[in-house]
Each structure stands twice: as C-alpha cells, then as structure tokens.
Structure 1
Amino acid sequence: MARRNITDLPDPKERCRPDRAPPYGKKKQKFPTLAEARAENLKRAKLIRKACRNPTNLFNRDDALALADLLEKAAQGQESESLACKVYMGRMRIKIGGALWKLADEE
C-alpha cells in the first residue's frame, strides 16, 4: 500500500488559501486565476507543437506531442496530473501553500 504524499493534502480552509490572499510586493503579484492558467496551458501546447516542427534529437517528438495534447485537454477542463500543467500545479500550490500557512498560524 502506498503511503500518503504531498498530493494527498486536503484543500485548505478559506483563511489559509494563498489564491485568496491580496496582491503582494512592489509589482502587486497575485495568484493566477483558473482562466489565466488554462490560457498558459494553451500557450505551452502551441510552443511545444512549434518546437516539434523543427527536427532535432534533443527530445522525443512523440512524447512532446502527447504532452501538447494533454495540455490542450487540460485547458478545456479535463484533469491532467502533469508538472507541465499550470492548472494542476496551481492546485498543488494552493494545497501545499495552504498547509504551510496553517502550520505557521498554529505556532
């Protein structure tokens, strides 16, 4: 039986959600919205397909095209557990950041 890992973290409570925090820093940075993350997935898929048009031995073309397909599906709302997927990684950042925020509040 596999042990629990960081992907098994629960969704944080509202007060510990980094995506609900106000903009911060000199540039007023904020957590990307779902729409922004989906747009980024489409951009990444487009750039992968563009890179595949130029023959090279630096990466496996079939794997790259499969990743582009996966990112396009994720941009349309289909779940994708990939480190390249901005939506999936955003969800993980919310869970991990929320857990750390909760831990910091408890001390």
Structure 2
Amino acid sequence: MIVEVVGGADERPEVRVVDVDDLTRLHLALGAVTDEEADGVLRDAGLGRVQDAQTGVLDVAALRAAAEPQAGSEDWAERWDAMLAKTRESGWLSDDGSSVQVHVESAAGA
C-alpha cells in the first residue's frame, strides 16, 4: 500500500491511497511537493504527517478508512491485521496502535 502526495507548482497537492491490496509493503511516496506541502495535505486529510525527510507517520484508523473501501479481496481485513502485526514486530507501530511510521520515497513520476 502506498500513500501518495502528488501535485505541482500550479496545483494544490493531493493525497491518495493506492495499491491497497498490496499489504506486503507500506510507504509514503512524495511527488513534486515540498515536505511542508506534504505535511500540510496529510494533516488536512487526517491521514498523518511528515516527521522528517525519511519518515512519515500515518494514522492507522484513517488509513484503513481510506483503503478498505477500495480493497478487492475478501480476506483484506485479515491481511491488514497481519500487516499491522508485522509493523508492531518491527517497532514501527505506536504503543497504542494508533499510528505507524513509514519510509518516505520519491514519487516524482507519479
């Protein structure tokens, strides 16, 4: 699953959740936006924030609410839970399970 923040100089950045059925990976992809623009649009959408140039923090409930309606498989909820368990094991899930740290990658071609 990818949370993309895309946009350009002449348009307001937008956030979208894509590849929702691929629960083997989760990251934040930034297009032609600054970290500040990405942070603002993520916060406005209630999806999270940019922590620094390499790390984002996503709200677990908001991410699920954005992704699940797009899911194409009946076992999506079980695979979602497995993904969260893996992030917890890796130390990326907050203690209360409300947020997950993700790696920031470039999506300049998006």
Give the TM-score normalised by structure 2. 0.28
Which structure has the bigger radius of gyration? 1
Bigger relative CO (Cα 8 Å, ≥ 6 apart) = 1
More strand by share: 2
